[in-house]
Amino acid sequence: MKPPRTAPPRGQKGQGPQKPQKEQGGQPGEPTPVSASRAVMSELMMPHMGNNLGHVFGGVILSLVDRVAAVAAIRHARRPCVTVSVDRVDFHEPIHLGELVTAHASVNFVGRTSMEVGVRIEAEQLLTGERRHTNSCYVTFVAIDEAGRPIAVPPLVLETDEDRRRHAGAAARRRRRLEERESEAGR
């Protein structure tokens, strides 16, 4: 008996393996939409990540924040990026061992060589499905060239009202950071 014929996977039409899809934007100098650089990482909080109260160490969460933000920055710039600063981080609630922590990152603002990446952290109690927003913060990155010097990054394409709202907030934070830097330099 002959095995039943099956149709090739959608889009292949029997012509062999397909090339991987490339995200829109992301070439040096080419405007890149916010959606092209979004990143999400999840990690189960294990015993070695916690303190004697069963809460996850803040440093574990900060490491996740830096890593997911770096992915978003590198996707946008398509260049190596380094962390320049992390804005204020407040932990609104403890994260408990055994919870799944998910970090969502997106580029909010682009300067000439720098990018602000917003990160939202959520903790999920896997047995109940309950999710809590535990903290958010903003991480600034600079794209670098082969010699480790800052290099220009592509413009950011704002696609949604939410993108525009985040961009406006990021522009205001950038102005405040620059004013603080000037004030500190004048001391």
Cα 45-103-76 angle, rounded to 5 deg? 140
Per residue in 28-62, pLDDT tens?
568 999 999 999 999 999 999 999 999 999 999 99
Query: Could you tell me which residues are beta bridge partners of residue 102?
Result: 42, 122
Bridging pattern class, strands 32-33 and 156-157: parallel
Return the percentage of the chain with pLDDT > 70, whole number: 84
Per residue in 13-31, pLDDT tens?
445 444 544 544 445 568 9
73 touches 153 (CB < 8 A): no
140 touches 115 (CB < 8 A): yes
Task: Give the span between the Cα atoms of 125 and 162, in whole angstroms.
Answer: 27
The full set of domains in the chain, from first to last, is 32-185 (3.10.129.10)
Residue that the structure tokens 């012509």 belong to: 15
| Residue 38 token pair | 């979004």
Nearest to 112 by CA among 85, 141, 87: 141
